Amino acid sequence: MSELTHPYILAFDTANEIIAIGLGALDPADRSVSLAASVEIEAHRASNTQLLPRIDALLSECGIDKHAIACVVCGRGPGSFTGVRIAMATAKGVSAALEVPLYGVSTLDSIAWGLQHAGVRGHAVVVADAMRKEVYPVRFELSDEGIARLEADSVVKADEAAERLAGGWPAHSAAKEGAANAAGLEADAVNAADAAGCTGAVADAAGGASAVPVVAGDALKKYADLFEPCGTFADEPLWTPTGQGLLLAAQAAWREGDIDPFDAAFGNPAFALPVYTRLSDAEENERIRLSKNEPKNLRTGVQDTGIRRDQRATVRDSAIENAQADENGITYRPLDAAHAQMVAHLETELMGTDAWSEALVLDELPRKDRVWWAAYDADDALVGYAGGWIVDGQVQILKVATVPAMRRCGIARSLLARIASDARDLGAKSCSLEVRASNESAQALYRALGFESIGMRPRYYSDREDAVIMEGPLPLDHHDVAGMELMVHSDAEPCDTSDETAVQRADSRERIEGSQPLVLAIETSCDETAAAIVDGRGSLVSDVVASQIDFHARFGGVVPEIASRKHIEAICGVTDECLDVAAERIGVPRLRWRDLSAVAVTYAPGLVGALVVGVAFAKGAAWAADLPFIGVNHLEGHIYANKIATPDITPPLVVSLVSGGHTMLVHVKAWGEYVTMGSTLDDAVGEAFDKVAKAMGLGYPGGPVISKLAAEGDASAIGFPRAMLHSGDLRFSLSGLKTAVITYLRNEEAAGRTVDKADVAASFQQAVIDVQVAKAEMALKLTGAKEFCLGGGVAANPALRAAYGVMCEKLGVRLTLPPMSACTDNAGMIALVALDRYRAKRFFGLDADAQAHVDIDQPY
């Protein structure tokens, strides 16, 4: 290998069972890449444990310091959702901490570039495994100049894709109009064809363009028989990405887009996202359900019966709150068949002779390449709707309309943002539409969203008026990060740095050193993306949370796939804000990753797909900044959350952990030494609240809604069971209580009696509290502890907090409650645990991984 003096590029991909890593040097003059190394390793579902150690080892073998990396390239997929997110989250962490650009490239393009470099010319097709008997098929034309992609990413049933490909190779103008730029690897680069030992189809094709397509992709491992009639298979080492292919794909993108790879404006890691090509299962199933006209309350998905007239406003308001009504009282939901007639009626009013009929609207809803959203006022009346068609990597806006009385309320913009968000997940990268030439206000809106006029369609509308064709970027609604608002908390007051003199700047290093150790912690165990920084005094100088609740509310609970996607979108923005807030509190112009003492993350327990994002990002950042990496048990974090309210709290103590996933009593003998005294046999408390709320048509999340409604009811009205109240041990069971409430509701409805839901909510809540308090009292007496604490989302319940207060006063025990902001998942509590582990030098290795389940009693 010759001596390379240019800046280095690190590229990697984990979209399938192979870890591909490439290391190259870029010549900024012509954006050509010189290959230093390309390695591929079998991962066997262990990408998160192997990726960084392998990268570290490769750099060491090549004698290259990580700080010589000036750019990161990452495979975006499509491929295994988890695999793609591991690479993307790791790349974001590395890029952020090294302060270098990050570029995402198509995993399928990198495979095509591998074929091209190995000598394949002419037709080629890559078919990657998409699971569920589906594949990602993309056709390419390969030439001496490079590759030309002939179609956008899509997901297709394997047998259908094979049938299409076997039917022939249609002419495509893109192949004739020119390919991507030449590969341009230096003469001393590794010859991929030789290294792979390529024979057969690749060797035959090397001498010239082949009329018979060459087929590659990991889907061939499953569906070789299906795709055998489609062409000649490439040699197996070329079925998956290579480090060299990733570098070639990036090089082509930079040249084609005239991009400076070191320009941060084009390589912001926050904007790099995976390729999905389809919505989550929950969203797809929702669209199937909503395309059927079922007589249900479409806000909650359950029958809205038995609600007393004077309670309807409360229940309705709760549902609207769950759907996050905007300042005008407007809520947004995917369009359903039950409102198709209303859409048709508004079409007649607003569109005249161009109006769609109800039948046309109903025909649109079940189509997988269509996205429809609607806006409703506080009385659930339809006030706007929009639809889009995703084709060839673009979403074409089919309809967007708002009732005249509600115009200028941002409804059209919000509808377009939701269309764009779904379209992006279906592979769209841009947007197009037609608008009447006379509709200047609409054109102004689209121009404000970044659209430009690209032509006219003469006499396009039924009245012969011309249409202006406009194209632009996806009109996404950005908010603070990933469509979410940031919530910022901290213990410290900000320092004034508005008049930053040279002397003050010189003092910045002293201020940072005076705050040491500074530990940044990340929390992604469920549906909050959070980051916090704790200083050496144990004060939280920054505590930032982005909640995803808006994205899950309409499903009645957290959707793991959506949670993982949103974490990938939000993690850079949340950590950037965390560093900025900490810098303000410390009194320095900027706080960088390298200024920290350690990086920590929740590694367990929780939703494993969500945890993976946080763990991969945190490991990448820790590695890049040469910092210790700390893993934290999420449950221990909830225990430490009490330190936020009472910093001097010391064991021994008893903690009740009550949340959507946990109900348990823990004896804290010392920090880090825990004994679980009892836990639930079935449902957790928070889970029971959510299920009962859903049964009553109150929406999600159930805890706050039931608590609010219970305040209006009689807690003694209904004698619901207190399961295991007299069991003599500290175990819990909530399933029977939940079933009893649902049975009561059904029996009352069957008898034709009106249900007082406030009484139901109050009686259910009291049954939960009675058991929780009784078991907590028993635990305190058994341990003799004089401190009692609470942790978890249900710890925010006012009635439960008050009941524990009464109990502790009776027993002469000090009660510590976490602040309301620290009851739900947050990174502040994780940072406090991490500070203790940092001082004890209890670090994790780069091969650490997320775990869905752990035992808090076991040291880690």
Judge whether 285 is annotated as a binding position: no
Is 453 a known ligand-binding residue? no
Q: What is the end-to-end Cα distance of the chain in Å, rounded? A: 43
Query: H/E element holding 641?
Result: none
Long-range contacts of 501-510 (CB under 8 A, 24+ apart): 505/589, 508/587, 508/588, 508/589
Looking up tokens 């819990």 gives: 732
List all residues 6 or more positions away from 456 whose beta carbon is below 8 Å from its beta carbon.
Answer: 437, 466, 467, 468, 469
Q: Is 18 exposed, middle or buried (0-12, 13-18, 19+ CB in 10 A)?
A: buried
Task: Tell me if 304 is assigned to a ligand binding site.
Answer: no
Cα-Cα-Cα-Cα dihedral sign, residues 726, 729, 733, 736? negative
Q: d(Cα 308, Cα 297) in Å, to the nearest integer?
A: 16
Crossing angle of helices 560-586 and 281-290, rounded to 10°: 120
Locate 677 and state its tokens: 């005294």
Cis peptide bond N-terminal to 818, omega within 30: no
Give the helix, strand, coil percentages of the chain, each rounded to 5: 40, 25, 35
Three-state DSSP state, 366: coil
Nearest-CA neighbor of 275 among 429, 113, 150? 429
Burial zone of 769 (CB within 10 Å; 0-12 exposed, 13-18 middle, 19+ buried): buried
* Residues linked to residue 143 through DSSP beta bridges, in sequence order: 146
- CA-nearest of 532, 544, 549, 551 to 486 is 544
The answer to whether 660 is a known ligand-binding residue is yes
SS (H, E, C) 292-351: CCCCCECCCCECCCCECHHHHHHHHHHHHHHCCCCCCCCEEEECCHHHHHHHHHHHHHHH
Contact 606, 853 (CB under 8 A): no
SS3 (DSSP) at 602: strand
Measured between alpha carbons, how far is 346 from 355 in angstroms, rounded to an integer? Answer: 9
**Encoding tokens for residue 847?**
């091969």
Distance of CA 397 to the CA centre of its chain: 25
d(CA 443, CA 434): 10
The C-alpha atoms of residue 724 and residue 768 are separated, in whole angstroms, by 11
690 is in an annotated binding site: yes
Residue 752 marked in a binding site: no
d(Cα 793, Cα 784) in Å, to the nearest integer?
26
> 854, 55 in Cβ contact below 8 A?
no
Residue corresponding to tokens 């805890």: 703
User: Distance between CA atoms of 530 and 488, rounded to whole angstroms?
Assistant: 10
As given in the structure block, the two tokens for residue 290 are 């909503």
| Pairwise CA distance, residues 407 & 375, whole Å | 12
661 is in an annotated binding site: yes
- The neighbour count for residue 365, using CB atoms within 10 Å, is 20
Is 659 annotated to bind a ligand? Reply is yes
Element (H, E) at 88: helix 81-98
Ligand-binding annotation for 634, yes or no, is yes
Best CA proximity match to 165, nearest among 157, 176, 174, 173: 157
Q: What is the rounded distance in angstroms from the CA atom of residue 20 to the CA atom of residue 11?
A: 8
DSSP for 200-223 reads HHHHHHHTS-EEEEEEESTTHHHH
Q: Which residue has the tokens 């410390």?
A: 586
List the binding residues for Fe cation. Answer: 634, 638, 825
List the binding residues. Answer: 634, 638, 657-661, 690, 703, 797, 825
List the binding residues for substrate. Answer: 657-661, 690, 703, 797
